[in-house]
Amino acid sequence: MKLGTIILGVTLAVVLLGGCWLYTPDKSRAVLEKAYLRDASDMVDVAGTQLHVRDDGPKDAPAILMLHGFGSSLHTFEPWAQALKDEYRVVRIDLPGSGLSPPDPTGDYTDARTITLILVLLDDLGIAKTTLVGNSIGGRIAWNMAADHPERVDKLVLISPDGFASPGFAYGEKADVPAMMQAMRFTLPKGAIRPNLAASYGDPGRLNEATVKRYHDLMLAPGGRGALLKRMQQTVLTDPTTRLPLIKAPVLLLWGKKDRLIPFSNSADYTKLLPGSRLVAFPKLGHVPMEEDPAQSLAPLKAFLAGEEETGKAR
């Protein structure tokens, strides 16, 4: 089941069961930037749109580019970025229409458009080759980029990646997004966000109020909800069995065994098609291990980046 479907479905259920219509207006961009924009220079013009980009670490160090999942933002990788920035150049972006990246004026939220923007950004930053890290939808974008542009990808790290068909997401067809879900444009109460985020944690007790507030605030960015819906509506999956074997880069798979959004059993589909990949499973973590337990999930990533073979052992 896809994260976006769960978020929207539960939100609507809460509203309908409550028997009332809870109008939720956008938050002003000035308020959001004051809370979540580190520096004005982090807003970067890329191929006709703006992206929120954080670029940390030595500019001549090996580069790592991190891509978040649906409804999330670059902040989900903050602990990892702080831990890696002394050794690596760590670049994080908010996908178009997510976080502080405003809606793309082209209205194009396909994976192909996003990959084009990433390639232009890498060129603008002077990065010829990078390690790609992607979670969920960000993972799907990452492995498609690695398949299409192997010359730009040094290593590939997939965290509970999206990409295989599921109800509402068939290969070669646009995603089935029920009309009722359009209500997210008008109502997105904070009370509906917490249970959806809790579902992405293996231990919901780890989810703190500051994280819930950040997700909710940034999903209320001007035009953001419409952009999220368009990204869902424009999603057309390609059968991974024809795509994953094109990947040439070494691959690390990180997956929480308590993932309720993209189940751990899906990891077998990836290891079958990526026979040289390394799988590390986290028995007590969920869909966003880098956010739920940064230290535990970072250890195998650091070993992989350093070329240590032991990361291939599933745990």
* Under 8 Å between Cβ of 94 and 118: no
pLDDT at position 174 over 70 = yes
pTM above 0.85, yes or no: yes
Domain locations in the chain as residue ranges? 39-178+221-309
Compute the mean pLDDT over every residue in the chain, rounded to the nearest whole number: 91
Q: What value does the mean pLDDT take over residues 305-312?
A: 69
Give the DSSP per-residue string, 213-226. Answer: HHHHHHHTSTTHHH
pLDDT in tens, 123-163: 999 999 999 999 999 999 999 999 999 999 999 999 999 99
Q: Which runs of consecutive H residues, i.e. helices, occur in the chain?
A: 3-18, 29-36, 78-84, 111-125, 137-148, 190-198, 209-219, 224-233, 240-243, 267-273, 289-292, 294-305
Q: How confident is the model at residue 215 (pLDDT cuts 50, 70, 90)?
A: very high
pLDDT in tens, 10-68: 555 544 444 445 789 999 999 999 999 999 999 999 999 999 999 999 999 999 999 99
Q: What size, in residues, is the chain?
A: 315
pLDDT at position 310 over 50 = no
Nearest CA among 194, 178, 179, 183 for reference residue 225 = 183
pLDDT at position 184 over 90 = no
Locate 108 and state its tokens. 């194009």
Domain topology for 39-178+221-309: Rossmann fold (3.40.50)
**pLDDT value of residue 73:** 98
pLDDT at position 186 over 70 = yes
pLDDT in tens, 58-108: 999 999 999 999 999 999 999 999 999 999 999 999 999 999 999 999 999
**pLDDT value of residue 223:** 96
